[in-house]
A and B are shown apart, each in its own frame.
Chain A
Amino acid sequence: MAMALPLAYASSVVHPFEAGRLSFSTKATKHKKQIYQFRNVTKVLAYYGLTNPPYKLDALEPYMSRRTLELHWGNIHRGYSDSLNKQLANSPLYGCTMEELIKTTFNNGNPLPEYNNAAEVWNHDFFWESMQPNGGRLPWGGVLDQIEKDFGSFSNFRDEFVHSAMMLFGSGWVWLVLKTNERRLLIVRTSNALCPLVWGDIPIISLDMWEHAYYLDYKDDVSKYVNNFMDHLISWHSATTRMVRAEAFVNLGEPKIPVA
């Protein structure tokens, strides 16, 4: 089941017909008679484009420097996206949405070669949107209520999140996910490129704990990085949007059945 994704999420998948139209405006004039053969003549490609973070690269200073974003987004994230497109150029995995692609290439725990690239493209998109300039501090409304329900209090949640990040060894990510089966929020730590989408859960916030995410700014002071993320970068706006969407798929409360 493909989720309807708002534009901010999906890396742009160019629709086959649009791509065709873009590329053969000159051919149209030359081959009017062969109109029915256009789709055969032109090579039609779908690809996953690199989306920009929803803020300028220096907007997260001083907590995440411009140089870090230039490298992290401009080289590393772009590198994953290019590698993915190269891998999929002649592959039967054609035309999926990102989420479908991740689930398919995860292959139930026996990942295909495309998995790492696909998942890292999605993970990084998600990460940029999990942050904002002037972020941090407290959530509000439904998100805060749900956090208090599932963790006791916001400060419990914050401590647990920071602790989980500090406990991660090697490269990986820390997530606040909404578990679809348990119907509650949970903090999850994953290694390398693993993404909670593969278990059917709905991520709400993520933090990149690969060293390339913080080494230039914080070197080995991981605790400062995580605390700055919690206090100044985390985007509760995004979290709220994602929770609202998630509630379309997960029933978090008791249904309000009107009494006759």
Chain B
Amino acid sequence: MQHHTLSCCGGVRPSLPPPPLSFRWSKIKREGGRRLPRCARIAAQLELKPPPYSLSSLEPHMSRETLEYHWGRHHRAHVASLNNLIAGTDLDGMGLDEIVVVSYNKGNPLPLFVHAAQVWNHDFFWQSIKPGGGGRPSGRLMELIERDFGSFDRMLEEFKRAALTQFGSGWAWLVYKANRLDVGNAVNPCPSEKGNKLVVLKSPNAVNPIVWDYSPLLAIDVWEHAYYLDYENRRADYVSIFLEKLVSWEVVSDRLDVAIERAAERAREDETRRQEDDAAVTHSEAVEMYLDSDTDDSEAE
């Protein structure tokens, strides 16, 4: 069921408690290309998604109080600020991923970037953990971990080191990195799935790896508010417990599948585009060499 809000003159309605399993709804209605007058525009509002478990179910590793503040106040405040800042702008109605990438503005972020990214990061973080988590992954995820880090324990070591050496506030990530550049003429001459790797990295404040076109698989919040109530300043204990008792390797595995599929699809698109470009090039050469060509083929073949 979709809800729409009538946003009169850019006003923001206070957020109601979200229904369980709520999803983002968004569409700015337009009539025949003409924008509706401002007062009658139907605007989309991003919602605060609840974690897929109750706030006390992660005890004793992450207390109910922490979740009440971390999700209930910090995360909620970012959602509210984001909605305030995008109301009435072009970003209103876009999906959250898009808002994050656009507002990052290639390293010169807009003011709303911190809110958009923190909403994204926290959604991602709540999904990454579960009651009774921990253990070891299996299947393709474990294979790739062993291929790219040597062993599961080595990957954990590197993840812990990233989380502990992130100075100040920030996040540590396990990402799937496709071997491609976001530059028009940079072409990978031998694209293969083997060139894509799992990588551990850390980012400051609100930055997250989707702005670099990576596919995040796992995140840990190392802002102090994430662990100070439960662990005080012992970040190392928090990170260890996170990895041993909270991480949901199933979710990470699913994300890996999605990431691999996405990378494969983009590789296929790149390939088709390259073939088209090649065809265009050879065709234009042909036109140049044979001056009196009869055929009138379009170069955009």
Contact = CB atoms under 8 A, between A and B. Distances in A.
Interface of A: 71, 75-76, 79, 116, 169-172, 191-193, 210-212, 215-216, 219-220
Nearest to A216: B228
Contacts of B228: 211-212, 215-216
A170 B229 contact: no
A116 B170 CA distance: 16
Nearest to A213: B224
Contacts of B223: 211
A215 B73 contact: no
Interface residues of B, number: 19
Contact of A191 (B74, B168, B225, B233): B168
A192 B69 contact: no
A76 B168 CA distance: 12
Interface string B182-217: 000000000000000000000011100000000000
B167 interface: yes
Contacts of A75: 232-233
A220 B226 CA distance: 11
Contacts, number: 51
A170 B205 contact: yes
B224 A220 contact: no
A215 B169 contact: no
A220 B233 contact: no
B46 to A, nearest CB: 19
20 contacts: A75-B233, A76-B233, A79-B233, A169-B205, A170-B170, A171-B169, A192-B168, A211-B169, A211-B223, A211-B224, A212-B224, A212-B228, A215-B225, A215-B228, A216-B228, A216-B229, A216-B232, A219-B225, A220-B74, A220-B225
Nearest to B114: A169
Contacts of B232: 71, 75, 216
Interface string B229-273: 100110000000000000000000000000000000000000000
Contacts of A216: 228-229, 232
